[in-house]
Amino acid sequence: GHRGTTENIKEVFEGRCWDYDVTRYLPDLPRVDTGCETLWKLFFKAFSYQPPCAVALENYQPYLEEAAQALPKDKVLFWSSVFSLAHQYGDYGQRYVTLEDTLVGYLANSITWCGQSIEPGYNVTRCPAWDDCPLEAAESFWAGASKTFAQRAKGEVSLMLDGSNPEKPAYRRNSFFGKFELPNLTKDVTRVSVIVSHVLDKPKVEVCGEGSLLLLEADVKERGFSYVCKDDPLVVLHLLCASDPNSRECQLVVNHARGQ
Ligand SMILES: Nc1nc2c(c(=O)[nH]1)N1CN2[C@@H]2O[C@H](COP(=O)(O)OP(=O)(O)OC[C@H]3O[C@@H]1[C@H](O)[C@@H]3O)[C@@H](O)[C@H]2O
């Protein structure tokens, strides 16, 4: 299989960059001094004229360092498998900051790119499918981006996991969080606060204190951080109920509000 390359990728990248600079996350994240043309050049340099499947994580380092922002203390949010809920919960930088809220993640999110050795140095139409390459270009990008994001986290960091998937444990050591984020948290981090979210009205496959959350607790404490875990905090329940107000669990929430 293959994926289609994002059309006008240079214009998309640079346009997003200028837009971010003047309109996005102004109260929550600092501006990056480097201009958008320079950031594009550094990003392009990382994968251009390389074979589509052979981009080492290090190639993105110059770009990742140039585009990095200081992250607000106690507001970094990591996630596994719950992309959409995590971004609702983070409320786009107001409650928490996810990788996509930072310039590095914002510019790369949902675009597709890959290199080729002949002019113009990247494949204008198509890229390998995710599993066609051992280290597919975009995969190594997110590895580098996740690592740099984790290295700049401070204070209490949050992690949202999915406790409703019978096929996939909530915490996996081979997830991006397990491979590139947890191992790169520094001494500036004090605590990992885990939120296990569950699909409404479905069996709770994993909850705090059980299954892979026990492994996570051990891995977090082994790194010297304190650990707390909560199943479906009220904010998350309300977000889930907003999308599914008629679910049984949400009726309970409404009755509770009515004091019944
Ligand atoms: N658009 C984004 N993609 C990704 C981010 C990210 O922040 N934005 N990633 C990884 N990533 C891509 O998501 C899947 C694995 O997710 P999934 O299996 O659901 O969860 P992971 O923990 O592996 O990755 C999510 C974790 O890494 C960063 C983000 O800061 C989260 O804390 C894999 O294909 C990666 O290329």
Contact 73, 49 (CB under 8 A): no
Contact 230, 186 (CB under 8 A): no
pLDDT per residue as tens digits for the range 117-157:
999 999 999 998 877 887 556 578 999 999 999 999 999 99
pLDDT at 253 over 70: no
Q: What is the pLDDT of residue 139?
A: 72
Predicted ipTM > 0.90: yes
Question: Would you call 14 a catalytic residue per the annotation?
Answer: no
Mean pLDDT throughout 234-246?
A: 93
Is the pTM value of this prediction over 0.90? yes
Shortest-distance Cα residue to atom 11 of ligand 1: 142
Question: Would you call 181 a catalytic residue per the annotation?
Answer: yes
Beta pairing, strands 226-231 & 155-162: unpaired
Give the Å distance between the CA of 92 and the centre of ligand 1: 16
Question: Would you call 136 a catalytic residue per the annotation?
Answer: no
Q: What is the pLDDT of residue 260?
A: 55
Helical (H) or strand (E) element with 123: none
Instruction: Report phi then psi at 67, rounded to 5.
Output: -100, 5
Instruction: Report phi then psi at 156, rounded to 5.
Output: -90, 125
CA proximity to 116, closest of 43, 63, 55: 55
Query: Does residue 38's CB lie within 6 angstroms of at least one atom of ligand 1?
Result: no
Query: Does residue 197's CB lie within 6 angstroms of at least one atom of ligand 1?
Result: no
Shortest-distance Cα residue to atom 32 of ligand 1: 78
